[in-house]
Structure 1
Amino acid sequence: MGTVREATFDVLRRHGLTTIFANPGSTEVSLLTGLPDDLRFVLALHEGSVVGMATGFALGREAPALAVLHTTAGLGNAVGAIATARVNRAPLVILVGQQDRRHLALEPFLAGRLDGLAGDYPVRVDQPVRPQDVPGAVARACHEAVTGRGPALVVVPMDDWDAEWAEDVVAVPARVVRPAGVADADLAPLVTLLSGARAPAIVSGAGADWGSLVALAERLGCPVFQESFGGRAGFPQDHPQYAGVLPADRARLRAALGAYDVVLAVGAPVFRQYPYVPGPLVSPGTTVVVVTDDPSEAHRSAADLAYLAAPAATCTRLSALLPTTPAPAVATRASVPGVGPGGTGPGGAGAGGAGADGVVLPVLPAGGRPLRAAHVLHELALRLPADAVLVEETPSSRPDLHRLVPARNPLGFVSAAMGGLGFALPAAVGLRMALPDRPVVAVVGDGSALYGVHALWSAAHYRVGALFLVLANGRYAIMDRLADQRGGKAPWPPFNEVDLAALARSLGCPARKVDGHTELVAALEEVVPTLAAREEPLLLDVSVTVDPDFQP
């Protein structure tokens, strides 16, 4: 005999969900008061940060994470972060509080109309019919989050937690095994295509497995592109066969892939776009195949052939089945049509000289200021260890980051695949909590940082030693450039008055202002070597000027 609350805690322990990210309200007090010592509570100051931190924690652990939200207000505030978690393939279990079941019919204060509030972004939403169904609903949410690779919600009225638990059965399997094998006969059409290809190419996405994809790419000897706007690097970006990030409009995409007769997208859709440009995705004569374990991704991709299968198992078996004939010549980033050194277009960072490592940078003005984002990212790249986790949310500097800071591990580039702001700061906190021995750096624009600035308090309070590198230009630079392209005047003003360093310090997070090259180098030289063992977060508020050649 016990309570629904105690039975649910047993479910959480069984599934490794012993860290609870939350911003609690009155409907969650009966769950959270007097937690057992083996359950860790992590407070975030906004629900977007709650889900963002849980998302980073899940990505770092490669296992589900747990978040608790407060009825309508909490779930409503977190919808954008829930959408990001879904597109970023992060398995989350989210408990949403509800008013007391015994008078819900009267719609009391804080009663939530929660059904459908998060739209189609949750992989499952469950509102248990009776209190005794809650532990099973939570266990099922764990399985659904992994299978659907996204957030699974369970709505729990506040009185359910104290209800008596005397059940004999939780109607959910204790363990779910997901076989990942793929039959040779099913792969035969793809083996035939790749074996006969004159010039194959691969597009890697967030769902790709690095080890098996590297082996397949090396067997084929072909270039490997990164999907545009992906949530994670799908291939080592310092590999000689890496060809850069695919353009996100159809005209440049056709140019980039025009030389290839078979294009294999692995763990990526076919193909993510941003501005609409008329015309086909690829030129006539190019056959497109997608391999993904995401049904939605498979079903919406404009491919000639789609495999709904585990990418790792598929690529591993393909490598074994393909003949060992001489491979075609590897195309480098500089030689791939339509893709320049940054992988996103024909340019570099602007006019300037090459450094000792051969990287072309904008000319640094006398006195080392004003800095451009390229200067900052170059100095970071020179010092960043290969195992570093890098979280990106700086839209106007993303091309420079792709060009200058190659991902050398699967978490070497993590971004909000949904596109909404407010992901990087809380995600970096969650990632560092999950990976306490790995260096974690968030590279964030000042406009982006303001959407998730609450997470800095959690970083400081829980001694999360991440580095938050803010590229501060005092404006929404990408929006300004889009308005320029439309030929009109942007109605939004700059926000030069905002002081991110002061905001960080007000939230308990140490911070420094950096406005020149000498200060930047000194700060990075001091901080980056400490990141693996660091327990205190640090925000560097780096003043940068907008690159005049930047194109969204």
Structure 2
Amino acid sequence: MPLVRQVVHGLLEQHGLTTIFGNPGSNELPFLADLPDSFQYVLSLHEGVVLGMADGYAQATGRPAFVNLHAASGSGNAMGAMTNAVYARTPLIVTAGQQVRSVIGMEGMLSSVDAASLMRPLARWSAEPASAGDVPRTCAQAIFEATTHRAPVYLSIPYDDWDVEVDHNAEQVLSRSVATALTPSEQQLRWLTDAVSTAERPLLVLGGDVDSQGHFELAVRAAEALDVPVYAAPSLFRLPFPNRHPLFRGVLPAGIKPISDAFEGHDLVVTVGAPVFRYHQNVPGDFLPAGAKLIQITDDPGAATRAPFGDALICDLGPALEALASLGTAPVEPIEYAAPAAPQTADGALHPEQVFAALRDTQPKDTTYVVESTSTNSSFWAQMDLRLPGSYYFPASGGLGFGMPAAVGVAMGQPERPVVAVIGDGSANYGITALWSAATYQIPVTFVILRNGTYGALRWFAELLGVPKAPGMDIPNIDFTDLARGYGVPAEAVGSDEELRAALARRVDGPRLVQVDTALTAP
């Protein structure tokens, strides 16, 4: 009879989950024994980086990723990164080794007490199998839960379970499939199109789900057909629309009043693939301007049910966007994209706009940017020209430590596209060990570290909240080139626009790091 381990390895292979992101401990070794040759184990030196790499990989491939953590401590180290995966709606199967069953109740060393509760409420579903014989079925459920709900799930498995023999019934999970369909009815689509057709000044708000679900080009077609203004949803983690398109009005601010002000003069707001809304700054006001209505199109029931205003249609985004595109009466003409203004300059250091202009001018047009430099957001959007799907990734919950590991994961998931990680010096310290993984597996990522010696976004918030003299804002004198070389990544520091452009223009086969000192700017 087969062992639990053999059945689960077969299950993972059946679902294409042969790349394992992990940092193992003693509890995980029995699961890793006798891995088939088709599997790849991707090691990172910290569990937060493990999960961030898996997050980027799953987003880039559009498929679930498998994560293996060490007991409660390793799971705890990954929790911050888990928040980004939750709000990016990334399907992750996060597993952790548990102590042998006989000593869990005694809280022996490396026991995870009440393990299924550890990752709640972050995980969409969390469990520990009731018996060794139930491990294959529970693992299958974890895969289906993550895939069906597009969310991370968590599974704790006692390590003595892996060597238990199971009967043929356990192998039934190898042939199972679970599918979903959220096709809107003709009546529902008519309700949507009638609302848009009768509105005098509608606009679109597109969220990250548009890009992550593969509807970037369809969203462009719908907007052009309707000839309406397009905003990106606030707290944006993926770019759903070309940012220099003449219909694009930018990323919405993350405050109630500023969003309402942006909608002034419009009578209908149609959001597609976004919550309503992910506010950040506390700027109270009316949700909508007088006379305006909102319709939310989402395939996320939670996003629909928790929204504080507007009507919602829960369905696949594709048919809804197709219906909107069919309404178009705008003439089909070549689109002229807006050219960016000349970048701003600064004294004593490069202005972030100069860095982004250099990236725009030197990197291939299909480059993917993984961004974790919050204080330079306005500079980024002022200079970049992103016209393709999958061009932009950002930490969905704002949890630092996403950028560097996610860039490695994205590059592994889409090796045909160049990847640039744009990282602030404050953010870099949270995921710095991703450099080791990039070097070890020779992942071709360009890490651009914008060094201003402070937590720029925090300084901006301190001014906003009236606490400008708060401690812990400055992080001077960190040399990321030395750190990178220590992890095996070639690195250089540049001090001028010419040096930066020359460095970025050089093509390399593996990872590299470029450090550039920049002036302090606000988000």
Interval containing the TM-score (normalised by the shorter chain): over 0.9
1:394 and 2:385 matched? no
Give distance in 1, aligned partners of 2:137 and 2:502: 54
2:435 counterpart residue number: 456
* 1:336-395 per-position Cα deviation (integer Å, ceiling 9, x unaligned): xxxxx9xxxxxxxxxxxxxxx651322355xxx511111101111112323211101001
TM-score, reference length from structure 2: 0.94
1:371 and 2:350 matched? yes
Give distance in 1, aligned partners of 2:390 and 2:217: 14
Give distance in 2, aligned partners of 1:184 and 1:214: 23
Q: Quick check: 2:459–2:468 contact (8 Å CA) kept in 1?
A: no
1:170: Cα distance to partner? 5.0
Give distance in 2, aligned partners of 1:521 and 1:51: 33
2:64 counterpart residue number: 64
Secondary structure of 1:307's match?
strand
1:409: Cα distance to partner? 2.0
- Say which is worse superposed, 133-142 or 466-475, in terms of deviation: 133-142
Give distance in 1, aligned partners of 2:470 and 2:63: 43
Identity of aligned residues (%): 37
Secondary structure of 1:203's match?
strand
1:521 counterpart residue number: 501
Q: Quick check: 1:406–1:412 contact (8 Å CA) kept in 2?
A: no
1:10 and 2:10 matched? yes
Aligned with residue 540 of structure 1, among 507, 514, 521: 514
Give distance in 2, aligned partners of 1:503 and 1:446: 12
2:476 counterpart residue number: 496
Q: Quick check: 1:232–1:410 contact (8 Å CA) kept in 2?
A: no
Secondary structure of 2:192's match?
helix
1:98 counterpart residue number: 98
Aligned with residue 195 of structure 1, among 181, 193, 197: 197
- Say which is worse superposed, 230-239 or 13-22, in terms of deviation: 230-239
Q: Quick check: 1:180–1:313 contact (8 Å CA) kept in 2?
A: no
Q: Quick check: 1:249–1:274 contact (8 Å CA) kept in 2?
A: yes
Structural mapping, 1:143-158, within 5 Å = 143-158=144-159
2:410 counterpart residue number: 431
Q: Quick check: 2:182–2:299 contact (8 Å CA) kept in 1?
A: no
Secondary structure of 1:82's match?
helix
Give distance in 2, aligned partners of 1:484 and 1:364: 21
1:399: Cα distance to partner? 1.3
1:21: Cα distance to partner? 0.5
Q: Quick check: 1:377–1:401 contact (8 Å CA) kept in 2?
A: yes
Pick closer, same or farther for the CA change 1:497–1:33 going to 2, 3 Å. Answer: farther
* 1:502-539 per-position Cα deviation (integer Å, ceiling 9, x unaligned): 11111111111112222101101113xx5xxx3x1001
TM-score, reference length from structure 1: 0.89
Amino acid at match of 2:516: V
Give distance in 2, aligned partners of 1:94 and 1:251: 38
Pick closer, same or farther for the CA change 1:487–1:52 going to 2, 3 Å. Answer: closer
1:510 and 2:490 matched? yes
Q: How many pairs does the alignment contain?
A: 516
Pick closer, same or farther for the CA change 1:386–1:176 going to 2, 3 Å. Answer: farther
Q: Quick check: 1:289–1:303 contact (8 Å CA) kept in 2?
A: no
- Say which is worse superposed, 289-298 or 240-249, in terms of deviation: 240-249
1:240 counterpart residue number: 246
**Which aligned runs of 4 or more in structure 1 are off by greater than 6 angstroms?**
none
- Say which is worse superposed, 218-227 or 248-257, in terms of deviation: 248-257
Structural mapping, 1:164-175, within 5 Å = 164-170=165-171, 172=173, 174-175=176-177
Give distance in 1, aligned partners of 2:286 and 2:417: 43
5+ residue gaps, structure 1, are 334-340, 342-356
1:51 counterpart residue number: 51
Give distance in 1, aligned partners of 2:467 and 2:275: 33
Amino acid at match of 1:177: A
Amino acid at match of 1:96: A
1:301 counterpart residue number: 307
Secondary structure of 1:207's match?
helix
1:180: Cα distance to partner? 3.8
Secondary structure of 2:73's match?
helix
Give distance in 2, aligned partners of 1:442 and 1:358: 21
